[in-house]
Chains A and B, each alone.
Chain A
Amino acid sequence: MAAPSAFDVVVIGGGITGAGVARDLSLRGLSVLLLEKGDWGAGTSGSSSWMIHGGLRYLEFDWDTTRLSNQDSGHIVSIARNFVTRIVFIVPVLQGDRNNIEEVETALEVYDRYQPLKHSHSHRRLTPEEALAIEPGLTPDLVGAMTLEEWGVDPHRLVFANVQDAVAHGARALNHTRVTELIRDAGKVIGVRYRTADGATTEARARAVVNATGPWSPEVGAMAGVKIELRPAKGIHIVYPHRISNFSISTESVDGRDLLMVAHAGFTLLGTTDDDFYGDLDSVDVVEDEVDYLLQGFERVFPSIRDYRPVRTTAGVRPTLFKWRKYEDELSRRYEVVDHAAQGADGFVSIVGGKLSMYRLMAEETSDAVCRKLAHQAECTTARTPLPGNEAEPAPVAELASRCGVPALAVVKLQSRHGSNAEKVLDEGGTSRILCRCEPVTEGELVFAARHEQVRSLADAFRRVGVAAGPCAGAACILRAAEVVGHELGWSASQRFDAAREFVRGAWLGRAPVLGHAGWAQEELAQGSMRGLTVRNGSR
């Protein structure tokens, strides 16, 4: 076992909340160790709807959550201005909908009061003809429509930017590192024992340990001998590798739940489901019924949805606070900071519940609680300190493309991930060759990610730079990606081969539930191009 190290705080969990807490505490001058058992943002954060939103539907349950959510969304949009894009929803209203058009507009009028908090515009009301003019794919059976504005963000990049900033302020951050035990002494949690990616077991002592592991919180809480009760809820999305419309669409499912088709930069997310989950959190599968449930909901307002070819699905589990006798959809998205001292685990703090759009506030309140315990006085600055890559406007696209010899389109995508640091990434990567044509991604960006962004597998590369995220789903680029990452990380030829095979196998699990007619044709092509990877292993 390696020699133990000492920190003020150990944060367990590298989703958006844990990364946010690590950043907040580091900015306040505390020494922090952040540990994540998988990759940054690979759990609940990455399988969200990729939105910073104010929570329109919470108006039915709790206006204060809507206010707080809008307020914190505004802070996030300000500190991550180069990473966010506007998302404009059309809310079509049909005869027989749960809410009539006047009720829908009433809710939006109330919501408009909070919209300025997140730098968004007020709603607009459209006649059926006007709605069809801006989105001709809508069903003609409209009573009318409203618009609603929210923000889109790549949660993987948002999480990593928080990790980056924490590290820039002195934190140590390790992904693929699993906490195996909490070290306890006379009713106090005094550190953690963890296993790193290379299999070494190490100890870290700390004055406080934060449990920010989302749906895994009860598991980590049990290590400290405390009970944490959640009501985990599974949500899936269908991913289309392109925009279906420039406008996003909100509608309702057969059982009256809200569904969203979200137009992000270069792809569309269609979701989500919300079902109580009792299974293995590390293996959340999508079943075809869930896919059909979503398509059925959208077909009603957007009849051509089945003409589009999805490329994969995502599945995640929300760490919803426990409540008995409520439907999943009615459960609060509020959060709680729990100091477990009263339960005999002094020095152990959990942050449970919540959502991406309020992560900064959740991190602030958790950090406040930790600072109180440690008698450390420092104010929170995360609401006004830009995340890395958001300190300035990005360079003009055409100029950068011409100077670095890459397509302007590649620069546009690069800037969406690195903001004002895009030039640095292009300069250091050393090659302008395009690796992934779909996104497109340059080899240089992947080199940079392997050197500086803790990419340890091809799935990490997918999350960090979007390699294999497009229509080919990796068929055209994953072998070359294995070469590039393998070269940087010193992988042998067989390790590169294994890495590509592992990626193909993982991607297949997410793709299988949405393979329709065209999907199977594409799958044949993809599998054919990687025959050596799949047939040899018999993984199909």
Chain B
Amino acid sequence: MGRADSLVKLAWAYGIHLTRRRFSRRRSQLADLLETYAPDGIRPLDAATRERHPRLVTCINCGLCALAAGRVGRTRLPDLAASYMRLYPRVAAASSDLEGDDPDLAAAAAICPVGVPLEEVAAVVRRMTTR
């Protein structure tokens, strides 16, 4: 009974939906969508970052980058590169972590056993934390 009742109600809603679609003007809802979820940090990746993204998140957190950058135990980029890349929605709240930092990312990237492009990661993270 529940199932039949549900399907009848859905069919009725479908009829109303089709009628409304036929007579209503269509406008883009994209801007509204982005505005609605921006406060929650839910923002799209751009096409270029999307393409590179699988490479940017391959860090296995071995810690060698921190060693190469002479920053063991300082727990900022690149030491926590994996962490910053994991946490999109609230990463802006952690922007103070990046202030005044200038680690040797090229040296760090050169030693990475899985080839994480750390300079690129740092650029993406900085972009995410400042917008």
What's the minimum C-beta distance from B116 to chain A, rounded to whole angstroms? 10
Query: Does B113 count as interface, using CB distance less than 8 angstroms?
Result: yes
- Contact, CB under 8 Å: A126 / B30: yes
Chain B contact residues, majority secondary structure: helix
B130: which A residues are within 8 A, CB to CB?
none
Further contacts, 15 of them, CB under 8 A, given A127-B28, A135-B45: A59-B10, A63-B6, A88-B42, A110-B10, A125-B29, A242-B85, A398-B95, A407-B80, A408-B95, A409-B83, A434-B75, A437-B79, A439-B83, A440-B75, A472-B61
A437: which B residues are within 8 A, CB to CB?
61, 63, 75, 79-80, 82-83
Query: Does A475 count as interface, using CB distance less than 8 angstroms?
Result: yes
Among residues of B, the one whose C-beta sits closest to the C-beta of A138 is B50
Query: Does B94 count as interface, using CB distance less than 8 angstroms?
Result: yes
Interface centre among A134, A410, A518, by most chain B C-beta atoms within 10 angstroms, is A134
- Contact, CB under 8 Å: B59 / A471: yes
Contact with B along A230-255 (1 / 0, CB 8 A): 00000000000111111100000000
- Contact, CB under 8 Å: B6 / A61: yes
Contact with B along A414-443 (1 / 0, CB 8 A): 001000000000000000001001111000
Please measure, in the bound complex, the distance between the C-alpha atom of A308 and the C-alpha atom of B40, giving whole angstroms: 25
User: Which residue of the partner chain, among B3, B37, B85, contacts A86 with CB atoms under 8 Å?
Assistant: B37
**Would A134 and B13 be within 8 Å (CB), given that A409-B80, A409-B87 are in contact?**
no
Please measure, in the bound complex, the distance between the C-alpha atom of A242 and the C-alpha atom of B32, giving whole angstroms: 27
- Contact, CB under 8 Å: A243 / B94: no
Query: Does A525 count as interface, using CB distance less than 8 angstroms?
Result: yes
Query: Does A309 count as interface, using CB distance less than 8 angstroms?
Result: yes
User: Which residue of the partner chain, among B14, B21, B29, B42, contacts A126 with CB atoms under 8 Å?
Assistant: B29
Contact with A along B96-123 (1 / 0, CB 8 A): 1100000000000000011000000000
- Contact, CB under 8 Å: B82 / A397: no
Query: Does A109 count as interface, using CB distance less than 8 angstroms?
Result: yes
- Contact, CB under 8 Å: A525 / B60: yes
- Contact, CB under 8 Å: B61 / A438: yes
Which residues of A approach B to under 8 Å, CB–CB?
59-64, 85-86, 88, 102-103, 105-107, 109-110, 121, 124-127, 130, 133-137, 147, 241-247, 263, 265-267, 304, 307-309, 397-398, 401-402, 406-413, 416, 434, 437-440, 470-472, 475-476, 518, 521-522, 525
Please measure, in the bound complex, the distance between the C-alpha atom of A457 and the C-alpha atom of B43, giving whole angstroms: 38
Among residues of B, the one whose C-beta sits closest to the C-beta of A442 is B75
B76: which A residues are within 8 A, CB to CB?
407
- Contact, CB under 8 Å: A407 / B94: yes
- Contact, CB under 8 Å: B10 / A106: yes
- Contact, CB under 8 Å: A102 / B42: no
B10: which A residues are within 8 A, CB to CB?
59-60, 106-107, 110
- Contact, CB under 8 Å: A438 / B82: yes
User: Which residue of the partner chain, among A86, A127, A307, contacts B42 with CB atoms under 8 Å?
Assistant: A86
Among residues of A, the one whose C-beta sits closest to the C-beta of B11 is A106
Among residues of A, the one whose C-beta sits closest to the C-beta of B1 is A62
Please measure, in the bound complex, the distance between the C-alpha atom of A402 and the C-alpha atom of B61, giving whole angstroms: 25
User: Which residue of the partner chain, among A102, A263, A472, contacts B21 with CB atoms under 8 Å?
Assistant: A102
Please measure, in the bound complex, the distance between the C-alpha atom of A434 and the C-alpha atom of B76, giving whole angstroms: 11
User: Which residue of the partner chain, among B6, B34, B43, B47, contacts A60 with CB atoms under 8 Å?
Assistant: B6
- Contact, CB under 8 Å: B13 / A109: yes
Among residues of A, the one whose C-beta sits closest to the C-beta of B33 is A124
B29: which A residues are within 8 A, CB to CB?
124-126, 130
Please measure, in the bound complex, the distance between the C-alpha atom of A397 and the C-alpha atom of B129, giving whole angstroms: 13
Q: What are 20 residue pairs bridging A and B, where the CB atoms are less than 8 Å apart in the complex?
A: A61-B3, A62-B3, A86-B37, A88-B37, A102-B18, A105-B17, A110-B10, A127-B28, A136-B45, A243-B88, A244-B53, A245-B45, A247-B44, A411-B94, A413-B87, A437-B63, A470-B82, A471-B57, A522-B60, A525-B113
Please measure, in the bound complex, the distance between the C-alpha atom of A230 and the C-alpha atom of B62, giving whole angstroms: 45
Please measure, in the bound complex, the distance between the C-alpha atom of A135 and the C-alpha atom of B46, giving whole angstroms: 8
- Contact, CB under 8 Å: A266 / B86: yes
Among residues of B, the one whose C-beta sits closest to the C-beta of A304 is B54
Please measure, in the bound complex, the distance between the C-alpha atom of A438 and the C-alpha atom of B58, giving whole angstroms: 12
User: Which residue of the partner chain, among A308, A407, A472, contacts B54 with CB atoms under 8 Å?
Assistant: A308
- Contact, CB under 8 Å: B57 / A137: no
- Contact, CB under 8 Å: A106 / B86: no
Contact with A along B34-78 (1 / 0, CB 8 A): 101100111111110011011001111111000000000001100
Among residues of B, the one whose C-beta sits closest to the C-beta of A248 is B42
- Contact, CB under 8 Å: B89 / A246: yes
- Contact, CB under 8 Å: B84 / A409: yes
- Contact, CB under 8 Å: B75 / A408: no
- Contact, CB under 8 Å: B97 / A470: no
B30: which A residues are within 8 A, CB to CB?
124, 126, 130, 133-134
Please measure, in the bound complex, the distance between the C-alpha atom of A355 and the C-alpha atom of B109, giving whole angstroms: 45
B17: which A residues are within 8 A, CB to CB?
102, 105-106, 109
Ranked 3 nearest A-B pairs via Cβ: A472-B61, A307-B54, A408-B94
